[in-house]
Amino acid sequence: MIKTFLSWSLPAAVLLGLAVAASTPAMAVGTRAGTTISNSATVNFQDVNGNPLSATSLPAVTTVLQVAGALVDPDNAQTMTPGVTYYYSHTVTNTGNFDDTINLTAASSQTWAVQIYRDNGVVGTYEPGTDVLLTDSAADADALPDSGLLINDTSMNILVAVSVPPGTPNATVDVTTVTGVSSFNAAGTDIARDTTTINAPTVVVTKSVDQPTAIPGATLTYTITVTNTGASAANANVLTDQIPANTTYVANSITLDGVPQGDGNADGDSGEYIAGPPRRISVTLGNLAAGAPARTVTFQVTIN
């Protein structure tokens, strides 16, 4: 007997735990719209001779109204480099008490290109061809992209594609808001925010000359420094500088970080003089990691 009781009690305890968890004040799972809540009471009594009698009331009936509810979760944050598209994953839930259609829109605070995909494949991963752009469904036919028919208390997955334009400056912050609105009642709405912070290279070039004033025939040395003060690598850097008018380039005068460079194009080093026009020097610097030491280029000209 005890054994039977215990084996019954264990699942009961588990059920009890679930029931308590489900009874949090904010009831996500609402009684479905149109359900009738009926209350009928019975009174039992006796007459003076102890004969049992009873009466039952007519039911008091309350019909549950249709209440819209939408939930878009979670808020995301991501660090990205320019020229890249990131796919933010969200869950859209119909928290109303009837089968609804939730319109979904996304807007970037930087007015970047954003698109919403129905996440049909692996949740959170964009799979071309499988995950398709969200469109308006016949469920509400209001020309706004939507969830399609979403049974109450069920969810769908979406991906919000945020495309960072090439050349976006370092430390730019974009907040893309993803809004879900019940097509039955706009009061059923929720917003999720995707915050994108840009890690971009910032290449700073300075140039100085050793003599602020000079006479014809004098030799001037120009010093150019190139640094990446940004948050990500700047790749394939090439420095070019035109030879000023009224000056003549001093042959083989280019140095890179103190190392002399030949003027030829195919001489195996990084520097090159190009007769033009325009006359110019070109130095291939390659990749500059964020915060890497400055590269220094010098060259000389004589005043005509």
Partner 1 sequence: MNGNSRFGRMGLLAGAIALMTGAVWATDPKVEITVKAQKEVVKIDAGGKKSVTLAAAKDAASGDVLVYTLRAANHGTGAAVNPRIEDPIPEGTVLLLDSVKEDGYGIEASLDHGKSWQSFPASMKRVSATGAMETVPAPPESYTTLRFVLDGPLAPGAGRDVTFKVQIR
Instruction: Output the CA torsion 269→209→289→198 (10° steps).
Output: -140
Provide the token pair at 298. 């010098």
Query: Which of these ranges, 4-12, 70-78, 206-214, 223-231, lies near partner 1 under the rule CB under 8 A?
Result: 4-12
> Is 218 a residue that touches partner 1 (CB under 8 A)?
no
- For partner 1, the binding residue among 4, 50, 129, 143 (CB under 8 A) is 50
The CB density around residue 278, as the number of other CB atoms within 10 Å, is 10
> Is 4 a residue that touches partner 1 (CB under 8 A)?
no
- DSSP assignment letter at 213: S
For tokens 């995950």, what's the residue?
A: 131
Query: Which of these ranges, 51-59, 119-127, 176-184, 228-236, lies near partner 1 under the rule CB under 8 A?
Result: 51-59
- Nearer of residues 31 and 115 to partner 1, judged by Cβ: 31
- Nearer of residues 22 and 292 to partner 1, judged by Cβ: 22
> Is 9 a residue that touches partner 1 (CB under 8 A)?
yes
Provide the token pair at 284. 């291939």
Q: Which residues contact 59 (CB under 8 A, 6 or more apart)?
A: 38, 39, 40
User: How far is residue 178's CA from residue 153's CA, in Å, rounded to a whole number?
Assistant: 20
Interaction pattern, residues 21-40, with partner 1; x per rule: CB under 8 A: -xx---x-xxx---x-xxxx
User: How far is residue 120's CA from residue 126's CA, in Å, rounded to a whole number?
Assistant: 9
- For partner 1, the binding residue among 3, 4, 24, 45 (CB under 8 A) is 45
> Is 187 a residue that touches partner 1 (CB under 8 A)?
no
- For partner 1, the binding residue among 97, 227, 228, 261 (CB under 8 A) is 97
- For partner 1, the binding residue among 1, 4, 24, 47 (CB under 8 A) is 47
Q: Is the bond preceding residue 277 a cis peptide, omega within 30 degrees?
A: yes
> Is 186 a residue that touches partner 1 (CB under 8 A)?
no
- Nearer of residues 61 and 275 to partner 1, judged by Cβ: 61
Query: Which of these ranges, 41-49, 83-91, 255-263, 269-277, lies near partner 1 under the rule CB under 8 A?
Result: 41-49
> Is 109 a residue that touches partner 1 (CB under 8 A)?
no
Closest CA to 148 of 137, 156, 158, 134: 137
User: How far is residue 188's CA from residue 68's CA, in Å, rounded to a whole number?
Assistant: 5
Q: Which residues contact 231 (CB under 8 A, 6 or more apart)?
A: 170, 171, 198, 199, 200, 201, 202, 290
Provide the token pair at 149. 């028919």
- Nearer of residues 58 and 138 to partner 1, judged by Cβ: 58
> Is 266 a residue that touches partner 1 (CB under 8 A)?
no
- DSSP assignment letter at 169: P
> Is 1 a residue that touches partner 1 (CB under 8 A)?
no
Residues that bind partner 1 (CB under 8 A): 6, 9-10, 12-13, 16, 19-20, 22-23, 27, 29-31, 35, 37-50, 53, 55-65, 67, 97
